[in-house]
Amino acid sequence: MPRWEKLIYYTLMVFSTVVGIYELNVFRNYMVDDAFISLRYVRNALEGHGLVYNIGEKVEGFTSPLYILLTYILGRFGLDLVLSSKILGVTSFLLILAFLGIWGSIKRIRQFLDLPSLTVTFSIIATSFSLTFFAITGMETVIFSFLTLLVFLDATRSEITFRSICLIFIAFLCRPEGIIFLPWIMLAIFLIRRSDNRIIVTSSKRTLNFKRSEILAVGVLFLAVAIFEFVRWMYYGEIFPNTFFAKAPWTMDSGTAHWSLKGVGSITYFFSASGGVLGILLFLAAIFHKDNSRGILLMVCALTASLVFFQKYAGSDWMIGSRYFIPALPVWAIGLGVSLTALNILKPLLPLWRSTAVSGTVFMIAIMNFSDTTQFLRNIQSYPNNVQTSIGLGDIGSWIKQNVPQDYRVKNWRIGAIGYYCDNTIIDTWGLVDKEVGRIRFRASSQEDGTRRVEKHVEKVKPEIMITKLTKGGETNGKGYHLIHEGRNGGEVLGVWIRNDLVSTIKLQSPSTN
């Protein structure tokens, strides 16, 4: 390959990185509301109250102990927690790009992923709207994406080592679905070893059986997980986080059929954001192509399927552009690049035509992702911010902290920014940080049934403060409560209500509005 052609590909990678950094800058002022849930745990821990959301209530309402730990460490050094969460996400995003570039430059990998195909793969990841958004908005999503990539790259060595086990355990600490990497990596290695044409790295002893050292390593992983679960049980009294009960699959939507259709929509969005229909066809063609790259492609399929399976059956809510699929994006993009190489689509072209085709593809990918970013900015104030939080939610929390006694309990379903910016006990109607509400939703037959049961529970509890949506036709959920404040979050108007018998306990004016 001519030197000038290599320079073009490296320049395109730099261009894709610049586009990705620009998207990070666009999203810099936004935070996913759920991120503040973890940050409140960290804040309480730093203040000496323990790893709790509501002081005195030991409920594990987070799903990433690793994210909590890393944020806590940065907080101990005096860094602002919101800034710390953004630093962790952006660092992970940049590490994904760095490791992909380093891995793709290894000589043994170039037979599966040549430089033109690597350039296309790199651009899909670097300019991804979903990756850049979640990298800068405070969640552990991109940290887990980086760990997923490391586990995958390590698996291409076709052996289980203690390094593999450490990566899987760290991934498990980052997200509970990290534990599925163990059966996945064992299946992947079996597929690689079972025939010569699927060998990625030829070990000194080619065998279908797992070596004694590999079995020992797996045993160490089980021991580490058992110790972690024992510590979790000793502190929280449960072996599962409370989110497992609050977000069980059967509680998340209006029946199984509707829930499954939403899942199909989310899966479709994932694939359209990582190659589209053409990419899927290319991938499938490469799998059935008689080539030694089939092993790595089957690994990609197995990993993606594992994450989808966990998403559907282990208790998560479907969201269009779901953050639970994002960790599979870098690995899936690698699969597309390997498919391009395996089918020998670009190699026969003359250098000028090949570099032109790759350049056009990279620019098209960048434009498509940039259009998603533009659409996001255009619509952000016109719909309720279910995925991201605006400054409005934090303002509502700050208002409560300044005007409402700290011992007043607040019934709310948006527990992220509002909970982080106030110190009051939060009655979480989703049940993420409320053990009793979580069990109520777990026993419900559907989301509607769970909501009805929770409302009855709230009526018995009689919280001092309620936060509800305000509608154009007037508020009906505030029965027995007096409106004292209005706040806006995107297209939503939220009302803060106080129980009628407590109106005299605070200085009341006409309802203020942010």
pTM of the model: 0.86
What pLDDT does residue 164 have?
85
pLDDT category at 323 given cuts 50, 70, 90 is low
What pLDDT does residue 311 have?
62
pLDDT category at 386 given cuts 50, 70, 90 is very low
Average pLDDT, the chain: 80
DSSP, collapsed to helix, strand or coil, labels residue 159 as: coil
**47 within some domain:** no
Residues 362 and 417 in one domain: no
Residue 319 pLDDT more than 50? no
**54 within some domain:** no
Q: Per residue in 443-467, pLDDT tens?
A: 887 777 888 888 888 888 899 999 9
Residues 221 and 126 in one domain: yes
Token pair recorded at residue 116: 């033109």
Residues 469 and 374 in one domain: no
Residues 234 and 372 in one domain: yes
Residues 372 and 448 in one domain: no
* CA distance linking residue 108 with residue 408, whole number of Å: 63
What pLDDT does residue 71 have?
96
Residue 61 CA, chain-centre distance (Å), reads: 16
Q: Per residue in 154-201, pLDDT tens?
A: 887 777 788 888 999 999 999 888 888 888 777 777 766 664 444 344
Residues 334 and 443 in one domain: no
DSSP, collapsed to helix, strand or coil, labels residue 275 as: coil
What pLDDT does residue 476 have?
45
Identify the domain boundary among 379, 411, 435. Answer: 379
Q: Which domain holds residue 407?
A: 391-513
What pLDDT does residue 36 have?
93
What pLDDT does residue 318 have?
44
What pLDDT does residue 200 have?
42
* CA distance linking residue 494 with residue 342, whole number of Å: 54
Q: Is 24 or 319 the better-scoring residue by pLDDT?
A: 24
Residue 366 pLDDT more than 90? no
Angle, alpha carbons 180-183-186 (nearest 5°)? 140
SS3 content of the chain, % helix, strand, coil (to 5): 60, 5, 30
Q: Is 328 or 498 the better-scoring residue by pLDDT?
A: 498
Counts of helices then strands in the chain (DSSP H, E): 21, 6
**68 within some domain:** no
What pLDDT does residue 55 have?
92
Residues 273 and 402 in one domain: no
Q: Per residue in 50-107, pLDDT tens?
A: 999 999 899 999 889 999 999 999 999 999 999 999 999 999 999 999 998 888 777 7
Residue 136 pLDDT more than 80? yes
What pLDDT does residue 105 have?
77
**479 within some domain:** yes
Residue 207 pLDDT more than 80? no
Residues 395 and 424 in one domain: yes
Identify the domain boundary among 379, 404, 425. Answer: 379
What pLDDT does residue 409 have?
93
User: Which residue, chain included where needed, has tokens 């800068």?
Assistant: 136
Q: Is 300 or 122 the better-scoring residue by pLDDT?
A: 122
Residue 301 pLDDT more than 70? yes
**370 within some domain:** yes
Residue 263 pLDDT more than 50? yes
What pLDDT does residue 197 have?
41
What pLDDT does residue 203 have?
42
Residues 243 and 342 in one domain: yes
Work out the widest C-alpha separation in the chain, in whole angstroms: 81
Token pair recorded at residue 63: 């799903």
Residues 375 and 406 in one domain: no
Q: Per residue in 337-357, pLDDT tens?
A: 888 887 777 777 777 877 888
Residue 18 pLDDT more than 50? yes
Share above pLDDT 70 across residues of the chain, in percent, rounded to a whole number: 77
Residue 473 pLDDT more than 90? no
Rounded average pLDDT over 301-308 = 73
**24 within some domain:** no
**62 within some domain:** no
Q: Are 151 and 170 in contact (CB under 8 A)?
A: no
DSSP, collapsed to helix, strand or coil, labels residue 486 as: strand
| Count of structural domains, the chain | 2
Residue 248 pLDDT more than 70? no
Q: Per residue in 214-230, pLDDT tens?
A: 788 888 889 999 999 99
Angle, alpha carbons 252-258-264 (nearest 5°)? 95
Q: Per residue in 405-419, pLDDT tens?
A: 999 999 988 888 999
Identify the domain boundary among 356, 379, 402. Answer: 379
* CA distance linking residue 343 with residue 290, whole number of Å: 10
Residues 374 and 455 in one domain: no
| Strand pairing category for 481-489 and 492-499 | antiparallel
Q: Are 475 and 486 in contact (CB under 8 A)?
A: no
Residue 208 pLDDT more than 60? no
Which one, of 498, 457, 468, lies nearest residue 480 by Cα?
498
Share above pLDDT 90 across residues of the chain, in percent, rounded to a whole number: 25
Rounded average pLDDT over 244-251 = 67
The amino acid at residue 483 is L
Residues 158 and 97 in one domain: yes
What pLDDT does residue 182 have?
82
**128 within some domain:** yes
Token pair recorded at residue 368: 């498509």
Q: Of the ranges 114-128, 245-259, 385-399, which one carries the lowest mean pLDDT score? A: 245-259
